[in-house]
Structure 1
Amino acid sequence: MKKILILGAGKIGRMAAVMLKESGDYAVTLADANGDMLEFCARDDAATLIKVDVTDEAALTEVATGHDAILSTCPFYLNVAIARVARAVGASYFDVTEDVETTRAIREISKGAAGAFVPQCGLAPGFISIAAHDLFKRFDTVKKLRLRVGALPQNPTNRLKYNLTWSTDGLINEYLNPCEAILNGKRVEVLPLEGYERFTIDGTEYEAFNTSGGVGALCDMLEGKVDNLDYKTVRYPGHQEILKILIEDLRLGERPDMMKEIFENALPVTQQDVIVIFADAVGTRNGELCEENFIRKVHGTEIGGKNWSAIQITTSAGLCAVMDMVLTGKLPGTGYVRQEEVGLDDLLANRFGRYYANRQLAV
């Protein structure tokens, strides 16, 4: 039985531990510096619980030794140190980071490593990159590749039409940082909160705008192969305008700590969420201009006798599925592994990835 160390006992780490326990094939250790969070996770009876400060590399190395894989569900700014520890103990490494610079640093750490290093294994980046790359491969030439993802409340009640569903640090990070895209075949940086658009899926209207990190490594891989590529976050109409007031007019973009405090004090957490996933490609096939898209809506469901939110399920499913594919030999077991190396059909057939395999929807 493979030994897995999950770092971070928050929403995603807890869900991943339960998923892995339910499979029956993994012995899981769940570690965090927060004893209260570990005590809460004890109710799941899904993992051995250890209190450790992940910023203490010596202590973390001691805990990590002997594990086959380390899964980080910690904030992005802790992941470079965690990746160094994974390399030192010979474990494979996986995370759900959206931060571009963190991912680049982990790629450097992976060179010559004994295990596989696979950052960005969550929803966006992660699953959306796999779905978009699958569309890309179906065309002879691609003129446009669009990636759209949103984690939304099913029943919005405030003017932002939003509830907190995951890491507030990660949310603010993607609202403030420059965004990668491909324009006329060349990689460019575009501003967050720009590129506004609206669209409808199954009768529900959404807005979308540029945010950082969701495109993953696709720009590295597809520069010169796609005319245009971009990633945008999906929200209900009206969200972007209020964000611009907060971030630009009130200059909270210069004070992310204050912005985090405001969000966490004012926006309630919800378990009643829905994940909207939309990938679209326009290109030529056999000389004919055509279009294909991939659409999913994922809701929360019961796993291990408890109800879990859609963001917990989708993020953890991507993380666990890719780890499972590496440790069972379906993906490379050493060095840096891109999300785009994961086949969409293989992931949807995986025992963890199957949570994405629901019906297609209509645009």
Structure 2
Amino acid sequence: MNILLLGAGGQGGPCASIMSRDKDIQKVVMADSNLDFARKVAAKINSPKVEVIQLDCSDIDAVVKACEGMDCIIDLTPVWLGPTVIEAALKANISYVSTSFDVPYLDQIALGQERYLDKELKEAGVKVLLGCGLAPGFVNIVVRKYCDKLDTVKSVKYRLGKQKLYLGEFGEVTDPWNPGWSPKQALIDFSNPCYVFRNGKFEEVPPFTEIEDFPFPAGNQLVSHHTHEEVVSTPTIIGKGIEYCDFKYYVARQAATFVSMGLASQEEVEFGGGRFKPIDFIVSYVPKPGTAFLDEDPDYLEEHDGDVAIPSVLIIEGTKDGIPVEYKVHCPKLIGHPKALNEIFGTSYISIALPAVIGAKMLVEGGNGLHPGINLPEELDPDRFFEHFFGTGIPYKWEEL
């Protein structure tokens, strides 16, 4: 299997490192606009499987050319480039997987509209899998596994937190904001209206609304509505009479301040005789995630493995044989495992990259619940996905609370 990997940044290095150690993958072509950076990433991986090329991923024809001899694209470019890269995959007639998605698909799925290029992809027999990272992706597939146990599904609630345990109860107030991935996209997500599936219908609500003090295993944390893919994909695919679905994310206090003061705005403003976008000013002060893979330190990881909790709690309500059932599932962080870095993958940053690699393998091997056209993570066969996942030897398990 040959993979074209678009993007060498925060997830590109981990993704290439995972694939360099996968016996089913023979070749990885890692493409990035910054060739020097891509070469540094490849040098750290130090595998003959990994090649690098310079590529402008907004150039459809250039992406199509890079697809020659490839079996699948793993797209780690900024989310707004997704539709462009999907068009290239269609022209090149190869499979495609991303770790997130946004407009137009987010709105089209919620509104029940035809999905962009879905008809053309089906006619060409090309399979596209949207949002196969951690969230969306891994958590959706866990939810699907539990929904399969039920005859009817009443509601699905996603709760994601991030707790720096070493800071104490109020340390986050003065700790500099760093989402750990694209800060610009993170701020956009914090400021956008959010979908909620309520009473069997999608509705929009403002961000940072319906705040609740949620009891994560490591301690309570405030969560609120947040724009995310799970809210539209889960009700659409799960069915079974589902009435309610939401996604609540931890209330990042600094991000909330930026949004409430208009500092996450993408509209140009005038100041000091010049013009700039407030979001660009804020983002210029936030650490970039691209070098995390290059700077990974095994000794530091061993010492600080338990410092940060990144819990996902999934609450699924429904019925089985006419009896009400509630599952509450805690998925601890899928990042920072010393064994992943030192023995299995050459990196501990696997939370988004590993599900994407598994999604690509399932696309290429065929079946697995996937079909030509646009697929969502809940459509993956969960048993096959977790067969791939746990087959890597990763020491991970979720907990039924």
User: Please, what TM-score do these two structures have when normalized by structure 1?
Assistant: 0.87
User: Is 1:48 matched with 2:63?
Assistant: no
Give the 3 Å change call, closer, same or farther, for CA 243–109 of structure 1 in structure 2. Answer: farther
* Range with bigger deviation, 268-277 or 119-128: 268-277
State the Cα deviation string for residues 234-260 of structure 1 (Å, max 9, x = none): 35xxx34x4333212x11232375335
Q: CA deviation at 1:209?
A: 1.2
Give the 3 Å change call, closer, same or farther, for CA 251–164 of structure 1 in structure 2. Answer: same
Q: CA deviation at 1:344?
A: 2.8
User: Is 1:336 matched with 2:374?
Assistant: yes
SS at match of 2:104: helix
Asked if 1 retains the 8 angstrom alpha-carbon contact of 2:190 and 2:256, the reply is: no
Q: CA deviation at 1:297?
A: 0.8
CA distance in 1, matches of 2:238, 2:125: 28
**Percent identical:** 23
State the Cα deviation string for residues 58-84 of structure 1 (Å, max 9, x = none): 222211122110110000111111111
Give the 3 Å change call, closer, same or farther, for CA 213–101 of structure 1 in structure 2. Answer: farther
User: Is 1:254 matched with 2:265?
Assistant: yes
Asked if 1 retains the 8 angstrom alpha-carbon contact of 2:264 and 2:278, the reply is: no
The amino acid across from 1:325 in the alignment is: M
State the Cα deviation string for residues 79-119 of structure 1 (Å, max 9, x = none): 11111111111110111124142464354553323321111
Structure 1 residue aligned with 2:111: none
User: Is 1:21 matched with 2:60?
Assistant: no
User: Is 1:211 matched with 2:226?
Assistant: yes
Asked if 2 retains the 8 angstrom alpha-carbon contact of 1:318 and 1:353, the reply is: no
1:1-363 aligned within 5 A: 2-26=1-25, 27-43=27-43, 44-46=45-47, 47-102=50-105, 104-105=115-116, 107=118, 110-150=121-161, 153=164, 155-156=166-167, 158-159=172-173, 162-215=177-230, 216-222=232-238, 225-234=241-250, 239-240=252-253, 242-248=254-260, 250-255=261-266, 257-266=277-286, 274-298=309-333, 299-301=335-337, 302-303=340-341, 308-309=347-348, 312-331=349-368, 332=370, 334-351=372-389, 358-361=396-399
CA distance in 2, matches of 1:106, 1:126: 21
The amino acid across from 2:257 in the alignment is: I
Give the 3 Å change call, closer, same or farther, for CA 333–107 of structure 1 in structure 2. Answer: closer
5+ residue gaps, structure 1, are none
State the Cα deviation string for residues 159-197 of structure 1 (Å, max 9, x = none): 265533112233123212222221112222222221211
CA distance in 2, matches of 1:154, 1:19: 28
SS at match of 2:316: strand
Q: CA deviation at 1:137?
A: 2.5
SS at match of 1:289: strand
Give the 3 Å change call, closer, same or farther, for CA 341–74 of structure 1 in structure 2. Answer: same
Give the 3 Å change call, closer, same or farther, for CA 304–28 of structure 1 in structure 2. Answer: farther
Asked if 2 retains the 8 angstrom alpha-carbon contact of 1:84 and 1:109, the reply is: no
Give the 3 Å change call, closer, same or farther, for CA 352–19 of structure 1 in structure 2. Answer: farther
Relative contact order, higher structure (CA 8 A, sep 6+): 2
State the Cα deviation string for residues 257-289 of structure 1 (Å, max 9, x = none): 533542451458677654322111122222322
Give the 3 Å change call, closer, same or farther, for CA 31–203 of structure 1 in structure 2. Answer: closer
The amino acid across from 1:41 in the alignment is: V
SS at match of 1:313: coil
Asked if 2 retains the 8 angstrom alpha-carbon contact of 1:185 and 1:227, the reply is: yes
CA distance in 1, matches of 2:287, 2:33: 25
The amino acid across from 2:214 in the alignment is: F
* Range with bigger deviation, 72-81 or 196-205: 196-205
The amino acid across from 2:384 in the alignment is: D
Larger Rg over CA atoms: 2
Q: CA RMSD in A?
A: 2.8
